[in-house]
Structure 1
Amino acid sequence: MQPLFRLFAVMPLWLVHAVGALLGWLAFAASPTYRRRFLANAAQAGYRFAQVRAAVAHAGRMVAEAPRLWQGDALPPCEVRGADCVEQAWAAGKGIVFLTPHIGCFELSVQEGARRWAPAHGSFTILYRPARQPWLARVMEGARSRGGIQAVPTTLHGVRQMIKALRAGRAVGLLPDQVPPEGLGQWAPFFGRQAYTMTLAARLAQQTGAAVILARCERLVRGRGYVLHLQALESALGAPLAPTLDAAVLQINQAMEFLIRQSPEQYLWGYARYKRPRPLNPSAPAPAEPSA
């Protein structure tokens, strides 16, 4: 696997995306479980397969482009749109919570943000869970701790590091559509169905007064690069983040829905968004999904 990983890191982006698209369709054809989940999640959001079929190939591109992003000599071209909201937040002396769902090239979102703003405003902090394979864990650790990015563990210590960064006026990045372990989230509607949702993103913003910026890194056709779209949560939803936790968590889910509807053909519909959370104590059963 390591030689193949290094090969993908040096291949031209158009070829990486072409191979990735093929891999995406092979995975879709080979796994009935993945295929059913993809179709069910898209239908839950109101999309027919014809409307999101391109997402099958984009899922493969997401996997294929990772070596290039982690070990490539330079980041691929990425245009940034909506940067004014970021500049305004830092001009006001605020830290920033960047939020992005599993859409487009979300790995590049933090890397491009750090490349552009870390020299002036300090490193971007992200949560990091090591891969199980030792060689891949080493690659990921190096990739996610370079270029103005500080990766912290998915522990209480890591959360404290994120709070410290925000209070110092720096930035953190999260994928709030990840399913957290039991006890670290709450049930909230996501495309009309109850989904176990992290509370960390809302708590970080509420405790530190940080600005919440939505990010969506769009993958362009034929390997031409990417476009990173940025928008303040208040601008997207028409209201600031609520002071109560329940309302803020719901708003963040609504914000993720808003981003996904901007380019549903690039969302990772095969992600198990509605699964029950894993217990923090492996011997304890996970809580059941609420009926409403």
Structure 2
Amino acid sequence: MAFLIRSLFRALSGLPLSVLHAFGWVVGWLSFGLSSRYRQRLFAHAAQAGYPRRVALATVAESGKLVTELPRLWLGRPVPVEWAGAEHIDAALAQGTGVLFLTPHLGCFEITAQAYAKRYGATHPMTVLFRPARKPWLRDLVAGARQRPGLFAAPTTLAGVKQLIKALKAGQAVGLLPDQVPPQGQGVWAPFFGRDAYTMTLSARLAQAGRVQILLSWGERLPWGRGYRVHVRPFEILNAGPLSTDADEAARQINRAMEALVRECPAQYLWSYDRYKQPHRSAPPSP
């Protein structure tokens, strides 16, 4: 099985991005049609944020593309990338501080780290946090694909967190998805689009690991397989100030920042992600 999957990934990695995104359209709508749970979560989360069903339906194909573009991003030749806001990265790196990139489940979050590594990794490497796959054969494929010049991967373990802190203290870059639900005991409850969501505190802890600047980024998937546009925003602009040292307030600030990015392109947000799930023994606060 492992050999077949790797062979399939290698074969798909040579296809044009437009073809892979066409496959993704099919995969997305098949998933939508076959899973009532998927449909319910998709519509409920989009409605919670105030978006009509037409916006939720627009994300169906985008979710499929998120899967089928991976062979090309992991194993294929480079894809076209545009930048919107790279000057904010230039300014942050010029100050010699660590740079913390926060990226929601919006658009193609794989491309944000890859594009950074290609442009800046030779002098300022990036370390990204990722959750290792449960299947050993898939774990090796994912880890190998994400390790590349100027880009390192840190697992969601204590050792991985230490790796992130070390990178920031060395004046390097770190990237993570702060809207990913953390394990019990590693987060606080904070509003996300008007509903309490268990939110990681790791983002705030990393921001306090010495001299660190926070940048927000996301990778817009351009139509017809034309590539991607990486957007970069200073955290202070969207939050009207620096990140709080209080864990609860910091979580609220980060969630507000993620909401602001999602509003830039709600049709590419992963509304089907179980953002409001309740970790074991971690009940939301009473209303």
* TM-score (norm. length: structure 1): 0.94
Say if 1:51 and 1:265, in contact at 8 Å, map to a contact too. Answer: yes
Residue 239 of structure 2 is aligned with which of 237, 240, 248?
237
Specify the alignment match of 1:107 in structure 2.
110
CA distance in 1, matches of 2:85, 2:65: 25
1:235-280 Cα deviation digits (max 9, x unpaired): 12222212322211111000000000000000000000000124xx
CA distance in 1, matches of 2:206, 2:216: 15
- Higher deviation after alignment, 207-216 or 220-229: 207-216
Deviation of the 1:90 alpha carbon: 1.3
**Match runs of 1:155-170 below 5 Å:** 155-170=157-172
Asked if residue 47 in structure 1 is aligned to residue 51 in structure 2, the reply is: yes
**Match runs of 1:1-292 below 5 Å:** 1-72=5-76, 74-121=77-124, 123-278=125-280, 286-292=281-287
CA distance in 2, matches of 1:221, 1:210: 35
Instruction: State the AA in 1 paired with 2:266.
Output: P
CA distance in 2, matches of 1:209, 1:179: 26
1:29-63 Cα deviation digits (max 9, x unpaired): 11000110000000000001113321100000000
Instruction: State the AA in 2 paired with 1:290.
Output: P
Structure 1 segments of 4+ aligned residues over 3 angstroms from their partners: none
Say if 2:128 and 2:154, in contact at 8 Å, map to a contact too. Answer: yes
Specify the alignment match of 1:282 in structure 2.
none
CA distance in 2, matches of 1:37, 1:147: 38
Q: How many pairs does the alignment contain?
A: 283
Structure 1 unaligned residues grouped into runs of 5+? 279-285
1:145-179 Cα deviation digits (max 9, x unpaired): 11211112211111111111101100000000000
1:120-139 Cα deviation digits (max 9, x unpaired): 22x21112332122322111
Deviation of the 1:89 alpha carbon: 1.1
Instruction: State the AA in 2 paired with 1:56.
Output: V
Say if 2:98 and 2:167, in contact at 8 Å, map to a contact too. Answer: yes
Identity of matched residues, %? 53
Say if 1:111 and 1:147, in contact at 8 Å, map to a contact too. Answer: no
Say if 1:189 and 1:253, in contact at 8 Å, map to a contact too. Answer: yes
CA distance in 2, matches of 1:241, 1:288: 26
Please provide the CA RMSD for this pair: 1.2
Q: What SS is found at the alignment partner of 1:120?
A: coil
Instruction: State the AA in 1 paired with 2:92.
Output: A
Structure 2 unaligned residues grouped into runs of 5+? none
1:82-130 Cα deviation digits (max 9, x unpaired): 0111111111121100011011010111111111111122x21112332
CA distance in 2, matches of 1:141, 1:132: 12
Specify the alignment match of 1:281 in structure 2.
none
1:206-232 Cα deviation digits (max 9, x unpaired): 232311100010000000000000011
Say if 1:95 and 1:167, in contact at 8 Å, map to a contact too. Answer: yes
CA distance in 2, matches of 1:114, 1:239: 28
CA distance in 2, matches of 1:94, 1:2: 39
Say if 2:168 and 2:209, in contact at 8 Å, map to a contact too. Answer: no
Q: What SS is found at the alignment partner of 1:53?
A: helix
Say if 2:190 and 2:252, in contact at 8 Å, map to a contact too. Answer: yes
